[in-house]
Structure formats: structure tokens, C-alpha cells
Amino acid sequence: MDKLSFENHIASRYDEELEQIFSQLMAMGGKVEQQVQLAVKAILDSDSNIAERVIQGDKDVDRMEIRIDEDCVLVIARRQPTASDLRLVISVTRAVADLERIGDEAEKIAKHALELIEHGPLMSGYTVVSQLGVSVTAMLHNALDAFARFDADAAMRTIDEDKQVDQEYKAALSELDTLMASEPALLKQYLNLVWIVRSLERIGDHAKNLCEQIVFVAKGKDIRHQ
Amino acid sequence: MPDMKVNEKHVTVGKQFHDDPRMTMRNVNVFYGEKQAIHDVSIDIGKNEVMAMIGPSGCGKSTFLRSLNRMNDTVEGCRVEGEICMDGESLYNTKLDVVELRARVGMVFQKPNPFPKSIYENVAYGAKIHGLADSRIDLDEIVENSLNKAGLWKEVKDRLHQPGTGLSGGQQQRLCIARAIAVTPEVILMDEPCSALDPIATARIEELIKELSENFTIAIVTHSMQQAARVSDRTAYFHLGQLIEVNPTEQVFTMPEHELTEGYITGRFG
Amino acid sequence: MNNSAENLRRIQKSLKKRYFVERCFLWSGRAAITLGLLAVLVLFVDITSKGYGAFRSTEILLDIHYDADALGIDNLHDEKQLAFADWDVLLKNALREQFPDASGRKERKQLYGLVSNGAGFDLKERLIANPKLLNTSEKVWIIADDDIDTYYKSWLSGDPYAERMSEKQIQWIEVLDEQGAIALKFSKNLFTRGDSREPEQAGIWGAVMGSLFTLAITFCLSFPIGVAAAIYLEEFAPRNRLTDFIEVNINNLAAVPSIIFGLLGLAIFINFFHVPRSAPLVGGLVLTLMTLPTIIITSRAAIKSVPPSIREAALGMGASRHQVVMHHVLPLSMPGMLTGAIIGMAQALGETAPLLMIGMVAFIVDIPQGFTDPATVLPVQIFLWADSPERAFVEKTSAAIMVLLSFLIVMNMTAVWIRKRLERRW
């Protein structure tokens, strides 16, 4: 069962309902991806406007989560989905939770960015953020892409990317460690950066969870915690 | 869209055999005159297992079920080929008497069909015709036990001698189950036992099936996939007279092996 | 595609016509039923108005002297003496005493003609029942002759029919009427006697008994045979050309004119098996042949109406086919079978034609005592009386029809009662 579609149900409304849930999920994914990109941009550009926009944008993400969850509950109540349909609906509810957490992390990054801007920008340390940001946004993008196509192979490859993100995260932490030791006066600002790096790493983990859901939908295998 | 055609040399996918079988069916073919209703079905039903048989109308699941206690014998022009064994004894090829067989393989039908006699007479009927009770006291005991097992005793104990047809649909069906288990069969066949009942009565019967599976082997044909999912240990999917897939129920309803099964249970057949 | 307003307009246009057709249908149905009821009503009124008179007969009060010398007997236990005695002499003496004015042979004959020919035998029975009456007198109501009966009834209703009456007889009746010595009494003869050439002596009891004996034979033979055949055909027989052929023939037999069965009975039962002619036995056999198809067809319908789910349930419990039939199918279809049988019996009760062929149309005075005694049946009796020239038989015929109809009504009501009683819901 590699090929997946929502079509050809005897009840065509069922097709539409699943289609709608899925397209909402994709929209939410797009929105969350944008949130992460903007949050990273807010730090790198020290732009408090962008940061404010991200914080505002998280409310949209929350609304989308609730909306999709409601639709999933309705489909379960109305259609009692089985087999691939069941896996799809269940994975969507899980994926929505992960996306919402990613949104939250993006909001946190934006808040720390605002604090950084308030305390006055740092001279160094941004490179680690920018590097990790690129990796994580790429990973998130790949995960959503794989979801759109239910591509289990792509999802597996994306899961592998998480190891690299983890390595980059550790490297970033140790570099920030050295910077903090050398400039104890800026400890507060560097701590902000630590939190930001930590959030990016969490986003990578959530992207990995998304990929695991893709494998669950496509292959029926639960590969979490393995 | 799954390919709806079934190739001639079909092989059943999944786990159709059982380590500790009560009934074993091998290469069973059933014909109605010229028309073949069942094609080469091999499957085991394990001891104390609830086996659900699902599939679209006319897929042969009821026909197959009815050949397990030779109810098809009453249909003119019906012919069963292959081997159907119960505890290693062949149903069709040896001298196993059909009366004995039906005492060992009870049946519950789609429409509740109590005899137009009293509740007591209904339950006692099997014991009477098979001579299972030596005395009235024995018979009373059989009736009470069976009604108890069917979860009907409390509801009817004060009106045992009123007609069984005066009960509600769900009670009637439980009465039929009590009637079937009164002769302590090894296997109970159920042919869409809840299709004429409301959801509450259905829930009661489903509950009962689960309880009965402690003592009996149960094969149930059902149109309700949710019901199959709720009550059965394994599920067999029939399509155009062929057995497509047999697998543990939890697998069939989350990750079926065959695309025809997938198509049927997700509601994708026209 | 029509829009909805246009459709609505068309629907409204057609409504009037539709309701009109519906009303026409309703009224034609009502008219048909009214017509049917009217026909039945006319029949009943006609028959009752003609026949009610037959339930009462004219009787004349005479002072009878049981004169042993006149009778020529001295011992009431001597059968021979009783048989040879001239019982009419008692009547003649009494009449002469009552009307001494009758003179001459002709007038005497007219005087004796006031009472029934058979009235002497009634006196004989009276005397035998009560021997103490010998040589004493008593007032006795003597049954009148049929012509007197007809005249008196028509005279009472104000439109005297005097065709067969003499002047003298009319005078005598007026005298008797003034004395209160002539009256209408309940006609015991009608319900206790067999047929007779004398209308006032004729009764239907012989025909009733004949009908009962015949029907008993018919029921005892046709019900078990019919039910057994129906059960075999419905439950056990394989579906093949032979059973199809049998089925077609049973249906055909139900439509065979009944007189053919009479011919069959004559040829086989009487000429070949030498069953006594005119007996209820042979009548029952012939009517059995005639009612069998009806009973088989209704019994099969009753068996078919037993839901297959009951059979399945019993088979599923391990009952043999025989047990299924005996425990379930037969009890459930019994009301239908009995109803069918009773309708068949009612048909047989009203049947005349086949019985004519086997000699049940003979003139039989004695009341049959068993299945092999010569007998006739109610419809044949009606046929015979309708054919008789005496005017008094007209009302007898109608009375017999009333009796036959009441038998049929009772039988049909029994059928309804049995159905109501035994019918079960499932």
C-alpha cells in the first residue's frame, strides 16, 4: 500500500472531508514553516517588527490546530474510518500537535529575539544560530514535502537529517559556552541564544515526529521510539 | 481504485491457519447447480476463537457459513466439495450424522426466529429432541443455565411459560442463542445475528458473543465491519466466492494486507 | 427540463381527474357490494317468506275413542293384531261424531279427507306408548291433510286458496275454527321424519342424517389423505417433472365438474367394488374425491405460509425433517388446513350432481341408521321436493333450503372460530 489517496470512497463527501483535512494540514504546515523562517530572520536581522509578527502569527497556528482537530473528530464520529483512512486521520491529529509545538517554539524564538534586541545586539554568536536555522528549516521543509506526497522513503531520509541537526546543536552549545566564559557580562544575552538554539533543536525533533507519521500512514508501521 | 477482478488462481493472503483448530476447511468449493458460489477456500477456525466473516453481499460468506453445519443440504442443487473437518472428523465424507453435527454446531440466524411456543419450550426443544434431559428437573436446569448464559434469565424468569414471540427483537435473538447453547455445541455459527436489531440490542448481543467465546468457538457473518472489529479475534474477507484475506482483526482494520480488503473496509467499492 | 412552478401547475391540473377516477372506483366498488347484498337479501326474504309456514302445520282437535272392538284387537302385545288393525276407523268414527251432517259416500270421503292419511299410525303409536288408553276417550290434535293445511294457512292470511277444496270441507273448517278445534302447531314431523309422498308427513330428518353420515365419511377420508398429500408435496417431494405434473393435475381436478366424480363413483365404487348403492358410504367416497383437491390446495397454502425461518431454526437445532413437520409445520398450519377442510365440507354438503349418479336421489322414507343404509342428503331432498307436484311441497322446499343454509352458516362460523382460536402470530 504505497499509493495513497482519499478518493474513490462510495460516499464522495467522505473523499471531500479527508481532502479538506489534509489540505488544512498542508496549509498549517506552510504557515508553521514560515513562522520558523521569520523567527530566525528576526534574530539574524535584529528586527523587532518581524519578531512581533511571529508572536502574533502563532495565534493563527493555534486556531488552525483546533480547527483541524475538530474536523478529525468529526470524521471519526461520522465515518468510523478504517485501515488507510484511519491511519491518515490519526496521523493528522498527531502531526497537528507536532506542528503546533513547532509554532510554539517559533514564538519562543521570537520572544528571545525581542529580549536580545532590547538588551542590545551581540557582536558574535549569530553564526551558530544561522547555521542551525538553515538546517532545521530545511528539515522541516523536507518533512512537509514528504507528507504532501506520503513519501515514506523521503521521510526516512529526513529522519536521518535529525542526527546532523543534533550534532550542530551540540557544537552550537559548546561554542556558546566558550563565548559566555569569555564575556560573562553578556551572560543574559548569550542565555537568550542558548534558548533559541534549544528551540531550533526541538523543532528538528518535531519534524522528525512528522516523518514518523508519514511512515505510519504509508506503511502502517509505528517507528516511534526506535 | 483497487482492481476488482479476481484472478482464477487466487491465493489467500494472511494467517488463514491456526495452531489449535476446532474446524479445518481445505479447498472447499460450493456449487448451486451450475453456479459456483465458493472457490477453493481453505481456513481454520481455532478453539474458542471468534472468527468474523465479512465481504460484500453475494460474496459467499453466508453460503460458506451454512456449509459448516450442512444447512446447505436443505437447498436443492447445492453441492459441497473439498474437506470440512471438525476435531479432525470430516463432515461430508464420513458417516457423521447430520443430526449429531447440528447438535455440535449450533446456528443463530439473521432474523430472530423463536418457535411460536413458550420461552421454556424454546430453550428446552433441543434437549428434548436429542434426549439430553433424564427428568423434568434436569430440563429445568438446562433451561435456566442456558438462559443465564445468554443473559436473559433475569428478564424472563417470571414468564417462562409465555410465548417467546412476545419478547423484544433483541430478547428474541438472545432466546435463540440460549436455544442454541442449550445443547452445548462446540461451535456456534451466527449469520448476521444483529442485522434486525437496534444498536442497544446489538451491543448486548456483542457483549454476549465475547462472553460466550470463553466456552464456545464462534463463527460470525456480519455486514457491519465495526461489529467484526469489535467482537472477533480474526477476520476473514470474502470476495466473489473467494477467501481473499484472513488476519487478526486488529491488523485487518488498521493495515490490511490485500488491496481488496482495504477497498472494502474503507468503503471504496461501487 | 420543466421548472418547478410549471410542474406544480401540471400536477394541480391532473389532481381533479385523479380524484374523480378514484371516486368512480370507490363508488363502483360500493355499488357492486350493494348489489351483492341486495341479491342475498332478496334470496333470504323470498325463501323465508315461502318457507316459514312449513315449520307449523295445521292440526284438528278430535275426540278419539280407542274402541277395541272397532279396531278388532284384544291384546296390545300382539304384533300381528296391531299390524292388521284398521287404525283409520278411530278417526273416521271421531269425524262422523263431530260432523253428523255428512251423508253419502262422497261427503263421507270428503270428511275423512280432512285429516292426514298417516294420522291413524300416529294414534297407533300413542296407544302403544300408553296402553291404558284402550277403550277410553281423549282429545287429540290430529294432523290435517296437506290440502286442508294449504287452505287453512291461506284462509288465515285472508287470501283463501280453495282449488282442491269442496264446499262442504270449507264449511267444516269454518265450524272447526269457530270451535277452536283447528290450529297451527309446531310441525314435529318436519324435524323427525323421513321423506313421504304426503307433504304433511314428509320431514327432512332422514336427509339430515344422510348428510351427516356422508359428511362424516368425507371428512374422515379427505382430511387425513389431503393433509398427508399436501405435506408430502410441500415438505418432502423433490421438485421434478413428476411432482410438477401431479401439481398441475390437482389444480385441474379442483375445476372438474362434480357430476364427473359421480360417474367415476358409479363406475368404480358401485359397479366394480359393489359398494351398496344410495348409501352414505358411497356418497362419502365420491364427495371425498371431489373435496380432496380443495383440501390439498388449501393445506399446501397453509403449509407455505409457515415462515421458512421456523423450519430453519428447527433444522439448525438438529431436528429431523419429520420432527420439523410434526413439531412445527403441522401445528402452525393446522388452523389453515382446518379452515380449508371445513370450506371443502361445506362445498360437499351442498353438492347434488354427483350424488344423483350414485342413486342417492331415491325416494327413501326410513331414517338411515348407518353408513350402508339407503339415504338421501339435504340438497337432493330439496331437489326432490322442488320436483313434487303438491302445492304444500313449495313451502317444504323453502324450509329445507333454510335448514341447509343454516347448516352452511354454522359450518362457516366454525371455520372462522377455529381460525381465530388457533391462529398464532409469529
Per residue, the 3-state secondary structure of chain C, as one string, reads CCCHHHHHHHHHHHHHHHHHHHHHHHHHHHHHHHHHHHHHHHHHHHHHHHHHHHHEEEEEEEEEECCHHHHCCCCCCCHHHHHHCCCHHHHHHHHHHHCCCCCHHHHHHHHHCCECCCHHHHHHHHHHHCHHHCCCEEEEEEEECHHHHHHHHHHHCCCCCCCCCCHHHHHHHHHHHHHCCEEEEECHHHHHCCCCCCHHHCCCHHHHHHHHHHHHHHHHHHHHHHHHHHHHHHHHCCCCHHHHHHHHHHHHHHCCCHHHHHHHHHHHHHHHCCCCCCCHHHHHHHHHHHHHHHHHHHHHHHHHCCCHHHHHHHHHCCCCHHHHHHHHHHHHHHHHHHHHHHHHHHHHHCCCHHHHHCCCCCCCCCCCCCCCCCCCCHHHHHHHHHHCCCCHHHHHHHHHHHHHHHHHHHHHHHHHHHHHHHCCCC
CA distance B259 to chain C (A): 36
Chain C residues contacting B, CB < 8 Å? 238-239, 307, 309-320, 323, 327-328, 332, 424-426
Q: Is residue B136 part of a domain?
A: no
Please tell me the predicted confidence (pLDDT) of residue C86: 83
Q: Which residues of B112-149 are buried (b: 16+ CB within 10 A; e: fewer)?
A: bbbbbbbbbbbbbbbbbbbebbeeeeebeebbbbbbeb
Q: Does residue A2 have a pLDDT over 50?
A: no
pLDDT digits (tens, 9 = 90+) for B58-93: 888 899 999 898 888 878 788 888 889 888 888 876
Q: Report the SS3 class of residue B256.
A: coil
- The CA–CA distances, whole Å, from A52 to A46, A114, A121 equal 12, 8, 17
Q: With 0-12 CB in 10 A as exposed, 13-18 as middle and 19+ as buried, what is B161?
A: exposed
Q: CB-CB: which of B226, B261, B262 is closest to A80?
A: B226
The answer to the question of residue B107 being in a domain is yes
For chain B, the maximum distance between any two Cα atoms, rounded to a whole number of angstroms, is 62
Grid coordinates representing A177 are: 559556552
Asked if B262 and A11 come within 8 Å (Cβ–Cβ), the reply is no
Range of the domain at A31: 12-219
Number of structural domains chain A divides into = 1
Q: Report B:142-171 residues touching C (Cβ under 8 A).
A: 163, 165
Q: What is the mean pLDDT of residues B17-33?
A: 89
Eight-class DSSP state of B163: B
**Chain C CB within 8 Å of residue B109 CB:** yes
Residue count of chain A: 226
Question: If interface means Cβ-Cβ distance under 8 Å, which residues of chain A face chain B?
Answer: 1, 7-11, 14, 79-87, 220
Contact A8 B254 (CB under 8 A): no
Q: How far is CA C238 from the centre of its chain?
A: 42
- Which of C317, C332, C426 lies closest to B126 in CB terms? C317
Residues B102, C332: C-beta atoms closer than 8 Å: no
How close does chain B come to C222, measured CA to CA in Å? 28
What is the per-residue pLDDT for B270? 46
- Residue C2: the pLDDT is 62
pTM, to two decimals: 0.76
Q: Does some domain include residue B195?
A: yes
The total of other beta-carbon atoms located within 10 Å of residue B239's CB is 23
- Interchain CB distance below 8 Å, A10 and B254: no
Give me the pLDDT at residue C318, please. Answer: 86
ipTM of the complex: 0.86
**Residues pairing with B189 in the sheet:** B107, B219
Distance CA B219, CA B187 (A): 8
Looking at residue B4, its pLDDT comes to: 47
**Phi/psi-derived region of residue B267, left when phi > 0, alpha when psi is between -120 and 50, beta in every other case:** left
pLDDT score at C424: 59
DSSP assignment of chain A, as one string?
-----S---SSHHHHHHHHHHHHHHHHHHHHHHHHHHHHHHHHHHT-HHHHHHHHHHHHHHHHHHHHHHHHHHHHHHHH---HHHHHHHHHHHHHHHHHHHHHHHHHHHHHHHHHHHHH---SSSHHHHHHHHHHHHHHHHHHHHHHHHT-HHHHHHHHHHHHHHHHHHHHHHHHHHHHHHH-GGGHHHHHHHHHHHHHHHHHHHHHHHHHHHHHHHHH----TT-
| Closest CA in chain B for residue C326 | B129
In a domain, B181, yes or no: no
Instruction: Kindly tell me the number of DSSP H helices and DSSP E strands found in chain B.
Output: 10, 11
Q: What is the pLDDT of residue C106?
A: 87
pLDDT of residue B9: 59
pLDDT in tens, chain C (426 residues): 568 888 898 888 899 999 999 999 999 999 999 999 999 999 999 999 988 888 888 999 988 888 888 888 877 777 788 778 888 888 888 888 888 888 888 888 888 888 888 888 888 888 888 888 888 888 889 888 888 888 888 888 888 888 888 888 888 888 888 888 888 888 888 888 888 888 888 889 999 999 999 999 999 999 999 999 999 999 888 888 998 999 899 989 888 898 999 998 899 998 888 888 888 999 999 999 999 999 999 999 999 999 888 998 999 888 888 999 999 999 889 888 988 898 899 989 988 888 888 888 888 888 888 888 888 899 999 999 988 888 888 888 999 999 999 999 998 898 888 888 877 554
pLDDT at residue A123 greater than cutoff 80? no
Contact flag C317-B102 (C-beta cutoff 8 Å): yes
Find chains touching chain C: ≥3 CB pairs under 8 Å: B
CB contact under 8 A, A83 and B229: no
| φ, ψ (nearest 5 deg) of residue B113 | -130, 60
Q: Quote the number of domains for chain B.
A: 1
Model confidence pLDDT, tens digit, residues A175-207: 888 888 888 888 888 888 899 999 999 999 999
| Inter-chain residue contact B259 with A1, CB threshold 8 Å | yes
At which residue does the C-alpha cell 342417492 appear?
C360
CATH fold for the domain made of C205-422: MetI-like fold (1.10.3720)
Asked whether residue A7 is assigned to any structural domain, the reply reads no
Q: Is residue B248 scored above 90 in pLDDT?
A: yes
Mean pLDDT, all residues of chain B:
87
Within a domain: A3: no
**Domain map of chain C by residue range?**
56-186, 205-422
Q: What is the model's pLDDT at position C201? A: 86
Pairing of strands B234-239, B50-54: parallel
Residue C425: its pLDDT value, please? 52
Query: Looking at CA atoms only, how far is residue B168 from chain A in angstroms?
Result: 28
Question: What was the pLDDT predicted at A1?
Answer: 38
| Residue B209, domain extent | 13-115+187-265
Q: Which residues of B touch A220 (CB under 8 A)?
A: 254-255
Give the count of Cβ contacts less than 8 A between chain A and B. 43
Q: Within a domain: residue A224?
A: no
Q: What percent of chain A has pLDDT over 90?
A: 53
For residues C72 and C46, what is the distance between their CA atoms, to the nearest angstrom? 49
Residue contact C314–B74, C-beta within 8 A? no
Interval C137-164: pLDDT, tens: 888 898 888 888 888 888 888 888 888 8
C293-328 confidence digits (pLDDT tens): 999 999 999 999 998 889 989 998 888 889 999 999
Closest of B206, B209, B226 to residue B266, by C-alpha? B226
CATH of the domain at B22: 3.40.50.300
Tell me the chain B residues in contact with residue A86 when contact means C-beta distances shorter than 8 Å.
Answer: 253-254
Q: Are C117 and C199 in contact (CB under 8 A)?
A: no
d(CA B258, CA A123): 61
Q: Report whether A10 contacts B267 (CB < 8 A).
A: yes
Give a three-class secondary structure readout of A186-201. HHHHHHHHHHHHHHHH
